[in-house]
């Protein structure tokens, strides 16, 4: 556990807005595996909240419990003030969920999928058709409306799946890895839609394996590993703990690598050698530090082939939070 | 793509939930889905149409003469039975469909909707009944062409079809439960037919059990499929008693009363 980043839920002073989700000690066990091992979560209304973690961390199980799809073994939670166990029907009336695997009928067309759901929600006749057509237009699927979903691309499926969650505007929308497996364009499109929804007042809880996705979208991020929350905070708070980013430098002359390591270590601390011979990686907490380090390299007459500054990857975040190198390798293997 | 921000606005006007639909309306939506499946997956219609045609023709012309003197005499005995057999076999398909759906994320969506929990199953049953109706009509038509005559006339045929739907409805629960338990549709089919073949063949559905060994005859006499076939013959040929019909309905009623709660429990447990 890292002491810079708080793992506790929001303090009461921060609760200006009422909570959309409030969970205490949620736990779920599958056989011997504690998929979720006592998680507290407070999500204010109208916020995009990200759950960040590697595969198998318990993200999906946590979300399925909050969406009433799995019963918790221990703990309690309320969604929009309704208790998960005591009032599941009320919870379902205020949420929608888009799972990791498209929850669509592949044999039906996109429009038929939306029509079916609109009718299940209680829209009749023309109102159901109008709702389906509106959503198709909003998600740029009008051209594919009459095609069977099995002919859709990954990005189109994901968009239709999210549209299917919005037949009735939910108070809380659960998105389980909304962009996993999408190409960069499709990913951007989904991000835009998520932001637009949040702009409309929908609370969004999303899971992701990507630090930059959490960073781009979420006001708060909970980092989860092996069923436990290991950190929670705003993107800025997490970065204060993990470093705002990772500075990569590649030397023009590989023989100077020891000199470069010395210069960088004196200013920024731990230096990692990259997989390529003359590449170095350094975690930094500010761009100023990075800038100073680059200036020092120039002053020492060490020429750079190139340099770049990027968001820390999930592995780097985990390394910073847990300091557990073995765990990082494990996560790399899974990813 | 670039105008997403603009188009989203229109759709984002918070859309409120309309008045909650009735359980029946939910079930009908799932029934509509079953009908759409016929449209989009016409392969399943091929099975549905060809299997009963094949069975009726093969049994009538291959075994009919040997079993009853002439194919036509056999048909008179066999046709009500093949209706029962077809309905039992058809019920396997909804279990397979369910298993397919559960393997994907579709049922998660249904389960996170505030709808009557049993509605998706009611929809499967609507689909089943349509299948039974189509297959039953085909068999009856072929039978009539080949010389089958329901002696009780239309007054017998209509209640016979009603009984047929009740049988299909009851048998359907077995395969819905299998579909919920087994994640591979092919395994559902293998299990289903392994269970159905002895049940259907060791009955009076195809032949008079008089020549069977005593131990088998004892089973055949209490086999629910025999009771169903007897009642169907009685209704279509005239002379069915209330007792016959009551006996035929025991299995469907017991199956419904025991397996519907099991279905709900399995569904909610996941």
What does the H/E/C string look like for A86-147? Answer: CCHHHHHHHEEEECCCCCCCCCCEHHHHHHHHHHHHCCCHHHHHHHHHHHHHHCCCHHHCCC
Q: Which of B9, B11, B18 sits opposite A123 (nearest CB)?
A: B18
Sheet holding A19-30, edge to edge: A33-44, A19-30, A74-79, A82-83
Name the pairing type of β-strands A172-176 and A203-208. Answer: parallel
The predicted-structure confidence for A19-66, as pLDDT tens digits, reads as follows 999 999 999 998 888 899 999 999 999 999 999 988 888 999 999 999
**What are A320-327's contacts with CB under 8 Å, separation 24+?**
A320/A2, A320/A241, A320/A242, A320/A243, A320/A283, A321/A2, A321/A5, A321/A223, A321/A230, A321/A231, A321/A241, A321/A242, A322/A225, A322/A230, A327/A225
Backbone angles phi, psi at B92, to 5 degrees: -65, -35
CB contact under 8 A, A96 and B112: yes
Q: CB distance B8–A196 less than 8 Å?
A: yes
Q: How far is it, in rounded angstroms, from Cα A117 to Cα A123? A: 9
Class for the domain spanning A244-311: alpha beta
CATH architecture of A12-107+148-240: 3-Layer(aba) Sandwich (3.40)
**For residues A264 and A297, is the Cβ–Cβ distance under 8 A?**
yes
How many residue pairs bridge chain A and chain B with CB atoms within 8 Å of each other?
A: 129
Backbone φ and ψ of B152, nearest 5°: -80, -5
Helix (H, G, I), strand (E, B) or coil at A78: strand
Q: What value, to the nearest 5°, has the Cα angle with vertex B249 and ends B167 and B140?
A: 45
> What whole-number distance in Å separates Cα of residue B178 and Cα of residue B195?
11
Q: Residues 192-231, chain A: which have Cβ within 8 Å of B?
A: 192-193, 196-197, 199-201
Contact, A104 vs A160, CB < 8 A?
yes
Per CB-CB distance under 8 Å, the chain B contacts of A168 are 15-18
Q: Which residues of A13-23 are buried (b: 16+ CB within 10 A; e: fewer)?
A: eeeeeebbbbb
Q: Which segments within A211-330 are labelled E, that is strand?
A: 220-225, 228-233, 245-251, 271-273, 279-284, 304-310
Nearest neighbour of A89 by CB, restricted to B33, B107, B114:
B114
Q: Is A181 on the interface with B (CB under 8 A)?
A: no
Measured at the CA of A104, the angle between CA A79 and CA B20, to 5 degrees, comes to 50
Hey, of B93, B108, B267, which one would you mutate to test binding to chain A, going by the most A CBs within 10 A of its CB?
B108
CB interface of B with A, residues 94-153, below 8 Å: 101, 104-115, 119
- What is the distance between the alpha carbons of residues B108 and B105, in angstroms, rounded to a whole number? 5
Q: What is the pLDDT of residues A234-273, one digit of tens each?
A: 887 777 666 667 788 888 888 888 888 888 888 777 777 7
DSSP class of residue A23?
A: E
Cα A43 from Cα A10, distance rounded (Å): 8
pLDDT tens digits for chain B (270 residues)? 444 444 454 445 567 788 888 888 888 898 899 889 888 988 877 888 888 889 899 999 998 888 888 998 999 999 999 999 999 988 888 788 888 888 777 887 888 788 888 888 888 888 888 889 989 999 999 999 999 999 888 999 999 999 999 999 999 999 999 999 988 889 989 998 899 999 999 999 888 888 899 999 999 999 999 999 999 999 999 888 889 999 999 999 999 999 999 998 888 776
CA distance A311 to B215: 77
Give the residue extent of every domain in chain A.
Answer: 12-107+148-240, 244-311
pTM above 0.90, yes or no: no
CB contact under 8 A, B112 and A105: no
Q: Which of B14, B36, B115 sits opposite A169 (nearest CB)?
A: B14
The residue among A258, A266, A161, A58 whose CA lies nearest residue B106 is A161
Q: How many whole angstroms separate alpha carbon A54 and alpha carbon B81?
A: 58
What's the gap in Å between the CA of A171 and the closest CA on chain B?
10
Distance, CA of A104 to CA of A106 (rounded, Å): 6
Q: Which residues of chain A have pLDDT under 50?
A: 1-6, 13, 334-335
Q: Tell me the two tokens of residue B114.
A: 């505030």
DSSP state of A302: -
Q: Which long-range contacts (CB under 8 A, 24 or more apart) does B259-266 make?
A: B259/B173, B259/B174, B259/B176, B259/B177, B260/B118, B260/B173, B262/B177, B263/B118, B263/B121, B263/B173, B263/B176, B263/B177, B263/B180, B264/B117, B264/B118, B266/B177, B266/B180, B266/B181
Helix axes B154-181, B185-201, angle to 10 degrees: 140
For an interface test with A, which of B2, B3, B4, B185 has the most A Cβ atoms less than 10 Å from its Cβ? B4
What is the maximum span of chain A, computed from C-alpha positions, in angstroms? 75
Buried b / exposed e across B68-96, counting CB within 10 Å, b at 16+? beebeebbbbbbbbbbbbbbbbbbbbbbb
Place of tokens 């032949």: B207
């Amino acid at each position: 556990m890292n002491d810079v980043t708080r793992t506790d839920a929001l303090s009461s002073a921060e609760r200006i807005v009422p909570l959309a989700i409030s969970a205490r000690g949620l736990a779920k066990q599958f056989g011997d595996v504690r998929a979720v091992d006592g998680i507290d979560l407070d999500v204010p209304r109208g916020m995009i909240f990200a759950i960040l973690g590697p595969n198998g961390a318990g993200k999906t199980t946590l979300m399925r419990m909050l969406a009433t799809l799995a019963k918790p073994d221990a703990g309690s939670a309320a969604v929009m003030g309704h208790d998960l166990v005591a009032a599941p029907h009320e919870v379902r009336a205020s949420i929608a969920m888009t799972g990791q695997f498209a929850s669509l009928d592949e044999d039906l067309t996109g429009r038929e999928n939306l029509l079916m759901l609109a009718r299940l929600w209680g829209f009749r006749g023309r109102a159901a058709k109008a709702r389906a057509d509106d959503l198709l237009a909003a998600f740029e699927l009008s051209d594919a409306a009459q095609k069977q979903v099995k002919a859709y691309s990954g990005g189109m499926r994901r968009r239709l799946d999210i549209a299917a969650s919005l037949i009735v505007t939910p108070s809380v929308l659960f998105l389980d890895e909304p962009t996993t497996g999408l190409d960069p364009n499709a990913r951007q499109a989904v991000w835009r839609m998520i932001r637009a929804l949040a702009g409309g007042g929908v609370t969004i809880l999303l899971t992701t394996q990507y630090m930059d996705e959490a960073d781009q979208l979420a006001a708060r991020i909970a980092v989860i590993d092996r069923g436990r929350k290991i950190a929670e905070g705003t993107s800025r708070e997490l970065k204060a703990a993990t470093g705002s980013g990772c500075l990569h430098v590649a030397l023009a002359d590989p023989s100077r690598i020891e000199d470069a390591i010395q210069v960088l270590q004196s200013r920024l601390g731990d230096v990692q050698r990259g997989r390529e011979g003359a590449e170095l990686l350094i975690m930094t907490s500010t761009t100023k530090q990075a800038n100073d380090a680059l200036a020092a390299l120039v002053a020492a007459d060490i020429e750079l082939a190139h340099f770049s500054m990027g968001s820390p990857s999930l592995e780097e975040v985990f390394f910073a939070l847990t300091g557990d190198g073995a765990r990082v390798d494990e996560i790399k293997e899974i990813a | 793509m670039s105008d997403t921000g603009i188009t989203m606005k229109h759709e984002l006007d918070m859309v409120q939930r309309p008045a909650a639909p009735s359980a029946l309306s939910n079930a009908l939506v799932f029934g509509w889905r079953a009908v759409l499946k016929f449209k989009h997956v016409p392969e399943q219609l091929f099975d549905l149409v060809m299997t009963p045609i094949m069975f009726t023709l093969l049994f009538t012309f291959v075994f009919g003469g040997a079993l009853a003197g002439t194919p036509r005499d056999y048909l008179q005995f066999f046709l009500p039975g093949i209706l029962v057999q077809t309905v039992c076999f058809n019920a396997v398909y909804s279990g397979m469909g369910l298993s397919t759906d559960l393997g994907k994320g579709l049922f998660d969506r249904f389960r996170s909707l505030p709808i009557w929990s049993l509605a998706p199953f009611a929809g499967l049953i609507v689909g089943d009944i349509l299948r039974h109706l189509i297959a039953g009509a085909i068999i009856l038509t072929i039978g009539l062409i080949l010389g089958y005559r329901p002696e009780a006339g239309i007054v017998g045929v209509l209640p016979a079809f009603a009984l047929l739907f009740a049988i299909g409805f009851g048998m359907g629960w077995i395969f819905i439960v299998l579909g919920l338990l087994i994640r591979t549709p092919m395994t559902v089919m293998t299990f289903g037919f392994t269970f159905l073949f002895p049940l259907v063949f060791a009955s009076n559905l195809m032949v008079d059990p008089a020549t069977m060994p005593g131990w088998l005859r004892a089973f055949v006499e209490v086999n629910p499929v025999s009771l169903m076939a007897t009642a169907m013959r009685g209704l279509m040929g005239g002379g069915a008693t209330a007792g016959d019909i009551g006996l035929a309905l025991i299995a469907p009623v017991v199956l419904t009363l025991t397996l519907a709660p099991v279905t709900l429990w399995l569904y909610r447990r996941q």
